[in-house]
A and B are shown apart, each in its own frame.
Chain A
Amino acid sequence: MRLEFDRGTLLLRDLPPEVDAGALPGVLWDPRVGAFRAPAHRRGDLLAALGAPDPPPPPVGGWRPVPLRPYQAAALTAWEGAGRRGVVVLPTGAGKTRVAVAAMAAVDRPTLVLVPTRVLLGQWLAELRRARAGEVGVLGDGARDVRPVTVATFESAWRHMSRLGDRFALLVIDEAHHFGRGLRDEALEMSTAPWRLGLTATPPADAAPRARLEALLGPVVFALSVTDLAGRWLAPFEVVTLTLPLDEAERAEYEALRRTFLAVARPFFRARPDAAWTDLLRAARESDAGRRAIVAWRRSRALLSYTRGKAAALGRLLARHRAARVLVFTADNAAAYAVAREHLVMPITCDVGRAERADALRRFAAGELRALVSARVLNEGLDVPDADVGVVVGATQGEREHVQRVGRLLRPGPGKRALVYELVTPDTAEVHQLARRRAALAPHPPAPLRPAR
């Protein structure tokens, strides 16, 4: 019997007559091609059910020793103990990449690393070129060079996994919380890789995506929070909240926009107390008042993203911390560019090319740039040089985003104490968001250590 990889699935060929293919895990009859078919990620289950051998591909070799901190070694041991499947949860700056490289060296088989952005693609390439002798493949950011160890953006992996899904034995998924919600999951489903390692600082809180992630990658096998590591492995930090009222004109506009929004939202949620935000959006499409309400809500958020009070406060903070390295976080690119223009701060956004971004980070590390401003790019994974002051001007992505942003500042240094300023507009929706963000920095409950499937 042969399992033939076919565009992200497996076709079962030359089945012995005694095998009841329909009873095998994940297998369905495909009348389109007249054969039994299974999703590629069920390959291990299929081979186990058939009692067929699964010889691993040849080693890739070339790995250099990877020194690990005690908690990183513990994370690796937990993952190995769970059958080389599972998710490691570590705060930003704690060295998740190092754990992954050690796992790749331990497995020493063809590996595909999936990363969310082009920025992280470059960073992983640099890390792997240091960790291993030999070429590293790239899939994404205009490159299509597939090798036994390859780094791909989520988008490229999603587009090409139907052709590449049988080439790798290990998948490493950076910022794994992006999976488990549907669309991107297909990239993981189309791979036959038996071993999988997810990395994240913020695993999904909702039950459904968490269960889906567990099915595709394995359970959370190791978890530590910022507060677990702050003080020794991460720098201690302090959060200062500045409340900055709207001016008169802004307040009048904000209140008018909120009235328009609440005129629809309040009765909706009163009638349907269990409804979700997406239910409101769907219902709002159906009436002029609803559509106006959503437009008003968007405009109110845009207004809060960079108020005149925030602009002035940011100017004062940049002046006060002129000698420090400062990261400014905004809600969107428009606000990031407004900050860049007004305060002459280098923007790091998805629109800035890789070479320029790398040059900006190098200059920031060397002290040639005093500050960087970004909406999303600095949130995740990017290895930002030693910054010690963060200013959160605006946020849209909730608690997860906040944990990641704070993590940007926690690389430890002698006597270092990081400082995070949160600019909040009183008597607006931002106040509730602030409370939720604070709660997200609390310690993780211990991860249940249990074996993968």
Chain B
Amino acid sequence: MLPTRLLRYDLRDDEVVPRFLSPADHPWLRALLDAAAALAGRPRRALRARLREPLAGDPHPDRLAMAAHVVDALCQGRTRPPVPPRKARAAVFGLAARGGARADVLAAAATALGATAAQVEASLLVDLADEAPLGPPPPDLDPGALAQRVNLALVQGLLARATRVTVRALGGARAVVRLAKLQGLICTVRRDGEGVVLEASGPLALFRRTRVYGRALGALVLPVGWCDRFELTAPCALPEGERVLRLTPRAPLLRGEAPRRFDSAVEAALARDLARLAPDWDVVREPEPVAVGDGLIFPDLALVHRLDPGRRALIEVVGFWTPDYLARKLEALRRAGLPGLILCVDAARACGPDDLPPGARVVRYRRRVPAAEVLALALEAAT
């Protein structure tokens, strides 16, 4: 994520348009990567000093500053100094307190540490931030990949100034919802034709723009990038006033790793166990979202009979829970005509008394969901 001072964008009416790096920037990005590679092993401040001098491709200083920030973060070097730096400092600065010329102090410290004066001097500050050595750029980081990383950092920097994020998505929205909830955001979802509209914001956003959740909102870009189609909009508070950021799949961003196939190992194990226990049934991961009240829920699994697809049961693995929460959820499912949805609750994650609502299709588990019990309830629900 780029800090605010490095964000570069244009303003068009009510919109903020990021100044993305493009293939036209690749020549100087190549020069930047070469410069970083040439300085590997030197103090990190050396790269900053180098970039004050002209660079091949004559980059715009703002674009260069964005890319240099990303390169600096990616090129964290590791070093094995000849003398452990902390030992070197303890010896050198302690001996300096007794007086004497600089060279004599270094020589005395070298003798005490069993090294040469040059080695002691080289080790003295080598582990401290800007004095620490620059590492070589990652081998797979070509100009195109670097441009995508810079563009992602730029978008995340803008989203850090957003009050909320709205995503119209087709396919893959579940990963976005999951991450939003993990990040402590309030996430509402409603159906929109074939897709969904998801709105994520922090609780404090009701009262004023808040930065607490800016990083969380920025993190949503990665799973959004894996939706089949999407449009992301976010009002961003900029020094010039509030402007809307719009993103579509055409934005040249790094997509990151594909979302995980299962929410957890528990869910993955349950899917495996059900497939083994019920060979006549298909275990469908991430079935379509289901309308409940004004919102949607995303069941984790559906169990669908292979010969009679009308026979199906939905399964959700619940994380932290309270009896109140379960009661409200079961009531909402009942009102939505979904009493057959089976909830699997972790006994170790009960936030309060662990009594369950009577008559609920709830399976309690510890570490591994008892698939046979789930299957029995599913057969009952699917008849």
Contacts and interface: CB of A to CB of B under 8 A. Distances in A.
Contacts of A28: 206-207
A7 B184 contact: yes
B246 to A, nearest CB: 22
Interface in B307-336: none
Nearest to B205: A32
A183 B204 CA distance: 13
Contacts of A153: none
A344 B92 contact: yes
Given A186-B204, A291-B62, A341-B124, A369 B186 contact: no
Contact of B94 (A6, A26, A161, A368): A368
B251 interface: no
Interface stretch (A103-111, A227-235, A345-353): A345-353
A341 B96 CA distance: 11
Interface string A382-411: 000000000000000000000000000000
B237 to A, nearest CB: 10
Interface residues of A, number: 54
Contacts of A161: 212
A367 interface: yes
A350 B128 CA distance: 9
Interface in A333-376: 333-334, 337, 340-347, 349-353, 356, 359-360, 363, 367-371
B199 interface: yes
Contacts of A282: 239-240
A333 B45 CA distance: 11
Nearest to A39: B207
Given A189-B204, A344-B102, A337 B130 contact: yes
B196 to A, nearest CB: 16
B189 to A, nearest CB: 11
Given A295-B61, A341-B124, A351-B128, A369 B93 contact: yes
Contact of B86 (A37, A278, A356): A356
A202 interface: no
Interface in B109-145: 121, 124-125, 127-131
A186 B102 CA distance: 49
A321 interface: no
A285 interface: yes
Contact of A8 (B105, B124, B203): B203
A333 B188 contact: no
B103 to A, nearest CB: 10
B202 interface: yes
A183 B203 CA distance: 16
Nearest to A189: B204
B211 interface: yes
Interface string A266-282: 00000000000010001
A370 B97 contact: yes
Given A7-B184, A333-B129, A368-B97, A39 B92 contact: no
A369 B201 contact: no
B130 A334 contact: yes
Most buried by A among B52, B62, B106, B130: B130
A161 B204 CA distance: 12
Interface in B247-273: none
Contact of A344 (B62, B93, B203, B206): B93
B166 interface: no
A6 B52 CA distance: 48
A322 interface: yes
Contact of A340 (B125, B184, B211): B125
B359 interface: no
A299 B96 CA distance: 32
B186 A32 contact: yes
Nearest to A370: B97
B154 to A, nearest CB: 15
A176 interface: no
Contacts of A265: none
A337 B203 contact: no
Interface in B75-112: 86, 89-90, 92-94, 96-97, 99, 102, 105-106
A37 B206 contact: yes
A369 B94 contact: yes
A351 B62 CA distance: 28
Contact of A7 (B62, B131, B203, B294): B203
Contacts of B148: none
A190 interface: yes
A350 B131 CA distance: 13
A182 B61 CA distance: 29
B203 A162 contact: yes
Given A28-B207, A356-B89, A285 B129 contact: no
Which among B52, B93, B128, B206 has the highest number of chain A CB atoms within 10 Å? B93
Interface in B41-75: 45, 52, 61-62
B94 A363 contact: yes
Contact of B186 (A33, A186, A190): A33
Contacts of B99: 322
Contact of A9 (B96, B97, B206): B206
Given A186-B212, A333-B129, A341-B125, A9 B92 contact: no
Interface string B188-201: 10000000000101
A297 B204 CA distance: 38
Nearest to A11: B203
B97 A369 contact: yes
Contact of A333 (B89, B94, B130): B130
B184 A183 contact: no
23 contacts: A7-B203, A8-B203, A8-B212, A28-B206, A30-B206, A37-B203, A39-B204, A161-B212, A162-B184, A190-B212, A285-B62, A337-B128, A340-B124, A341-B121, A341-B124, A341-B125, A344-B93, A345-B93, A350-B129, A352-B128, A367-B97, A368-B97, A371-B97
Shortest 9 CB-CB contacts between residues of A and residues of B: A344-B96, A370-B97, A346-B93, A351-B128, A351-B129, A9-B203, A7-B203, A186-B212, A32-B186
Interface of B: 45, 52, 61-62, 86, 89-90, 92-94, 96-97, 99, 102, 105-106, 121, 124-125, 127-131, 184, 186, 188, 199, 201-204, 206-207, 210-212, 239-240, 294
Given A186-B210, A342-B102, 6 more contacts: A30-B206, A182-B211, A190-B204, A337-B125, A344-B93, A345-B96
